[in-house]
Amino acid sequence: MRRAAILLVAFAWVMLSQDRSSKVAEYPSPKVRESQEVVVNGVVERWQLEWTSEPKPVCEPSEISLTCPCTGFAFGEGGQLDLVRYREAKEIDRLPLTPLFDEQFADAGIVAIIQRWATQDDDFTASLRDGFPQSVAKRKTVQVMHFADYDHDGSATEFLLQIGTAPCGKQVCVAVGLSKTKPSLHAFGTAMAPDKPLYLQRRIWEQFRKSNGEIRAESWTCGDHGSEISTSVLLRATPQGIDGKWREYSCPPERRRLIKETPLSAPLY
């Protein structure tokens, strides 16, 4: 009886693994970086990250790639990248992702950079040993599209895409996908400037996702890399999209005063 139960559990695990592999795949082909099933208004679609040029290594496995500028990009690759929607195997929508990026590294040019292999806690030490790049290449490919409801419109049809870093190691991201106000692929903007991508630190996006639709979050604190001001962002979910503003305060914190307010569409990170 016990053996039968163990076999049943094992069978269920295999079936779940096979079910996941049919819905999520990282690098199913050299052109397709990732492929996932997404339910949009009750209809199953397949979304893919597709390279339109051959990707080149960026922040290659080495000790240098474990420094601040490569945070979130180590050990990655860069190239021209599109997000593509398919329904019943037919392309219905496409969004070029490369224009969302600035030039991160002079030797790479303006490319979309995606992490391929994750870093590990002991990489600083391991990177000094022979064969480190080969050992990194054996790691599992990082999943990029983690769908969630970042704009609080009731549909988990967007994911965060890291497009840069801010000192030191702050991951700057934009939400990409579909929204109630714009049912075609786009980079999420604000209610006041919907066509201008909203760039926020990853931790702030996640804090907003986990909230009831309204937060105040610290973006820069007094003394962070010598900063003589602190910056906070106010975010609020509305039927028209994400609304809010940036606020800058004087330092030190115990005697702070409001210096100015800036529209949310301004990229202060």
Residue 151: exposure state from Cβ atoms within 10 A (0-12, 13-18, ≥19) = buried
pLDDT tens, per residue, the chain with 269 residues: 444 443 333 334 333 333 444 466 788 889 999 999 999 999 999 999 999 999 999 999 998 888 999 999 999 999 999 999 999 999 999 999 999 998 877 677 899 999 999 999 999 899 989 999 999 999 999 999 999 999 999 999 999 999 999 988 899 999 999 999 999 999 999 999 999 999 999 999 999 999 999 999 999 889 888 788 899 999 999 999 999 999 999 998 888 899 999 999 877 66
Phi-psi region of 152 (alpha: psi -120 to 50; beta: other; left: phi over 0): left
Q: How many CA atoms lie within 13 A of 137 on its CB side?
A: 7
Phi-psi region of 219 (alpha: psi -120 to 50; beta: other; left: phi over 0): alpha
**Where exactly are the structural domains of the chain?**
25-209
User: Structure tokens of 197?
Assistant: 């991508």
User: Structure tokens of 17?
Assistant: 């693994």
Provide the β-strand partners of residue 229. Answer: 250
